Structure 1
Amino acid sequence: MRAFNLDVEVVNRLKGEENKSQLVNEILRKYYSEDLTKDELTEQKVKLENEKKRIDMRLKKINEELDEYARNPIKGFVTRTSV
């Protein structure tokens, strides 16, 4: 992960700047506009794919549990049809 370091000039500008949010937005735009290397992009892609798989598996498990509850309501588990 790339560290974001403010240099002395930027810190001094922040201290004296009236419109700090505009300067902060300018700094963030500059920081996030830096090109990522191919390795960094690949790493981000793999992380996102793994996160998607984890979420998909969790969603599948939740749907299976809901289907099971619909087929066999547990005593004490309130369903819409039992109210």
Structure 2
Amino acid sequence: MAKEICDRQGLIIHIMVLVICPHCDNKTLLLDVSNDNAYCYHCQKNYKSIGEVLILENERWRRKHAKTVKEMEARKGVVQ
């Protein structure tokens, strides 16, 4: 609905989202979706792009869930 209102009013949407910083683990990383920037206000880490943050989060998620992923892959091999 907000996007439609902006379209009707001729405004450009500027989306910013606050997430957890992969560097300092605080919810102080501001993703500027409109400009593809990411900056943490706590540790002052400036990321090259939101894509860089996504890569770091994917790696972090895999490390955190490595045991579960390994078990599921093993079960998948048994079922086939």
Please indicate the TM-score interval, normalised by the length of the shorter structure. Answer: 0.3 to 0.5
Specify which structure has the higher proportion of helix: 1
Q: Give the structure, 1 or 2, with the largest relative contact order (CA under 8 Å, sep 6 or more).
A: 2
Which entry has the higher C-alpha Rg, 1 or 2? 1
Question: TM-score with structure 1 length normalisation?
Answer: 0.33
Question: TM-score with structure 2 length normalisation?
Answer: 0.34
